[in-house]
Structure 1
Amino acid sequence: MAAVAQTIPAPPRKHRWRFGIGARLFAAFVAIVGLAVGACVVGWLSYARLSGELSAIAEAQMPRLAFASRLSKAGADIGSATAVLTSAGTRAEYDEMRGVYGERLKVLQDLLAQPDAVRDVAQIGPVARAIGENLSRIDIAAGKRFTLLEAMRSDIDELRWLQADLIEEADPLVDDIRFNIEAEARKSGGSNALAEQRKSEALLTAIAQANLATGLIGRLVNATTVAEIQETNAFLGDSVDELATRLDMLSGWPDSITLRQLARRILEQADVRTGIPNRKNSEMSQAAQLSGLAQENARLVETLGRNIEAEVTAIEANANAASLRAAQAIDAGRKMLAAIALSSIVLAIAIGYFYVHRNVLSRIRLLAAAAGSIGEGRHSVQLPPAEPDELGDLAHALALFRQTRDELIQSAKLAALGQMAAGIGHELNQPLAAIRAQIHSGSTLINRGNSEQALVNLEKIRALTARMADQISHIRRFARRPDAQLRPVDLNTAVGDAVSLLEHRFDEEQAELRMDLAEEAMLVMAEPIRLEQVVVNLVANALDAVKETARRRVTITTRPSADGASLVIADTGPGIAAGDLQAVFDPFFTTKPAGSGLGLGLSISYNIIKDFGADITVLESGPDGTRFQILLKGPER
């Protein structure tokens, strides 16, 4: 291939000093800095006045604002705890909320007692003390109420046990009465049977009324209104009277002593003067007193909130007045700074548009387009005219790069053609030698009249020529320009096709090839020609690495991975130096002797793999060899 002639512009003349891009931008920078210095002077004068106002705010108003903030928070904390203080259902809940409420009240009292507290809080202190005194009264009322509630709960538990024992005692008595009635009926003793019948009715009624009384007492304990208590007490009185009557009817029955004792205990608990109803009335009285104290506490907390709000409002008003004076101090300097900023913007726009955009950036775009065209391999690239500045130097350097690139590409093509020729010769020599042998053997067979065996030889020759055609087709496919579009590719097939191009090297260099490919087909998203190119590059590098070693082995392993497939190529070479591991994928980096390679194989492979959206890494490298891993993505499902 003939090299394309390049015309390299003459390098710009060297000047000790020139008014280039740097000098022009420096002049613009000096102008803008001058405006910035002017703005700083104006700002300093303005902020000197502002500093005095801010000092006054910091020394006088900030402590007041901080005090107001803490005062407002303390008042809000007390207000939030007030609602739940008297709604506690158990002594433990009350004690917990009482502790929180007491701590918050103490925080407020400590805040008001500080030596540096604001003077005008005289209206807050008395309210805080009144809240504390009211809290003590709430403690007394709540303590009495919870004591009564606990006593009633204990009584209810006792009633449940009494009810259970009563039923247990009644069962055998009912059985005895039923037996006696049946016995008297057989004896035809009508009067005795009637007496047993009455005893049975009295026993069953007593048990029913005892159960009813127990249920009414439980309802009474859970009552929340006076009307509900009165209604329950009315029903309870009727039940108790009926129970007492039935117990008197059983008083002559010795077997019912235990049952009557249990029922008498239920009557005692149902007594309005000494039993659970009396304790319920006392608990309701304490609850009413506690409700009144809670309302008083809410009123005091509301008054406290209003006083705190008034104090905070006064403090904020003073702070706002100080802030207004500071804002006035800023206003004058702000206007001057705005004028200077506007001038700076106009100057920056003028420099940016008329010089940077219309001159520098347009030339940079031309150079970028030229560099992109050179990178894509186009030869007829028009470079912008060189001017006596830094971009002119860059245009000259780009022209030199274009010439160097063309020479490098030409050298790489020649080297690739040489390696390909060796591969083609190796792949075609063996079939040609076999064809010659088959032709000679076929001629001999024909001369002998053995035409059937001669046809067998001709069939072998046909198979050998088909094999040669496949090899040439594979090499032609490998040599053509790849397609940029990705599609599903069988990784194992691509590896096999790539290795077939390098089989002659394994034979010539007496290297061992181990292929541990997954049994199932593994589809990955790639472009087949470029994927083969990556495998060829890595296997060729592995062969170069083991060339001077006693144990020459290259291992290729494919396995499915979480989102695609994994390809590992390992060699038994001396490994890569630790200091070189970070640079193995850099262009033109090579550890081979001069003339043995351009250092582009791994760089090209790295870029191809990244184009696939995949990853290539050095898994490990040491005296026992190097392992490269490629993680490829599978098709989306």
Structure 2
Amino acid sequence: MYVSLSSWIRQIGIGGRLFFAFVLISSITLITSGLATHTYLDLSHRLTALNQQDIPGLEAAARLNDKSRLIVATAPLLVTADANTARKNAMQALRSAITEMDALMRNLPDYNRYFVELMAQIHNSLTLLNQSVEKRETVRAAITEQNHYIFPFFDNLIVKLNNLPQSAKWAPVIHRLYYLAGLMEKVSNDASFNELDYTFLRLEALGSEIQSRLPELPYLTPLLRQDITTLIALSSRQGDLFQLKNEELELGYQQSYFLENSQNHIQQLAAQINQYTNSTNTSIRDSLNNAMQLMKSSIRNVLLLSLVSLAVACAISWFYVRKNVLQRISELQKNMRAIASSQLETEVRIVGHDEISSMARDLKFFQDTAIEVERTNHQLAAEIEERIAAESQLKTTQSELVQAGKLAALGQLSVGITHEINQPLTAMASHIHSAGRHLEKGHYDKVHASLLKINHLLKKTAGITRHLKAFAREAGTECSAVDLDQVIREAIELMSAPMHDIGCEFLYSQDIKSQTPLLVLAEPIRLEQVLVNLLSNAVDALSDAQIKRISIQIEEQAERVLIHLSDTGCGIESKSLKDIFDPFYTQKEVGEGLGLGLSISYNIIQDFGGKIRVQSTLGQGSCFTLELQKQS
């Protein structure tokens, strides 16, 4: 298993290994994101539960406490209110508060039959209290009406007695009658049954004394006797005054009982609400503590995974990229410089099975070829002067190949051009070998013909590498007047091979008003890079198209120049048009592009003070328009 894994790692090359490392780091990042997302969702669930259950219950409990305090404060008004309207308003407020409390308690998770019975008892106690108060008011009114009858009757009796002839025997009776009237008036103010019994005992005693003295009184008419007897009867326990006052006191005691009973029930309810509030507060506190613990654990895990990801990235950067890839590239670069400096005996070390080792093998092959060519050139130097030019051209080609080797990271475009360079190099090696054989046999005319073919191939190779070198050199940052036609043709020449490989038809037209070269404000290398990016994307879009055509049209305006680059490829979805200039956005398969070409092109055109637009129809093709400032 270990051997097969090592073999697989050697086969996938540097790109595959870096991609594998990227997948590893991305996996750690995804795990970190998943952990953070899980923490967020769990915290969101807890907060939602608090918002939907505990907090509404706590709010309901607070409102229940307010309503219970309102009932406690309002209930005594049923007894102490002076006006019937105030008592009715108080009872209405109590009923409204009880209804609201019942509605609030129905939203509590612990709402049960105990709450129902408790609210019913509170409602019944307050209702009975109100009924008792109303009945007591009726009794009080009856007592007041009785007093309105008794005291005018007494005053009329006293007037009649004072109209009788004066006699010493009437004085004690009249005094006792006044005392009797005072005690009857006191009855209205008696606040207990004991006081009421004591008052009527004295009233009955006075009535007996007055009754016993009636036979001794002179001038007593039957009508006066009847009035005195009636007054005494009114002051007795059999009279309405005693019955009404006794009922009033009994109703008063009932009111105290009902009020105390309702307050006891309210206190029980308040205790239950307080218990629920404490339970809810405990639940909220526990939920918040759990959420804090979860957040701390998540932060700790995220930090740990981040450190692991950083350690993996540092390990890959240091132990693989720096110690392996960069060191070998640096060594290969030194070898290339040495070989380019005619130190052809420089040792080229081939280590591993990846792109760098492949480049080293190519360099080794080139080194062997160069040594063979140099040896052959030395052999032919004395006989053919043209061999000197060929050797010089070969050295030039060697320098260009070294430069091309240093720019191997250019990507897919350079790979295609390198493929085109390898063909004439292989042909040159064959011709050199043939020339050597002909030279040994003395066929100098055939040697001359082989050298001419080598010279032709060298010119072809030089033309290819010249454009690649110009395209690859470091671009400037200052904008200047640029010949637009020349830049476009160089970009077309660089992309001619890929367009030819897919059988693409290419059209180039110019709508120019003047005969002089059209100049735009730009930087030639970066503008060429934009055009190559767009042409490369167009070639990729034509891979599965039935009609393969790319066209470039230049449109000259007053102060602007428009470059329309169109293709008949697969097109772009309308919903994706707004995203195509974003970094890392791509519609290509994984491994075929990073999605940076259009983003870089967009920024380059922005630096030129221009604009880039796109119009596309899915399945029919796309048209990119570059708008640049015209330089006069």
Whether the TM-score (by the shorter chain) exceeds 0.5 is no
TM-score, normalised by the number of residues in structure 2: 0.34
Larger radius of gyration: 2
TM-score, normalised by the number of residues in structure 1: 0.34
Higher relative contact order (CA 8 A, sep 6+): 1
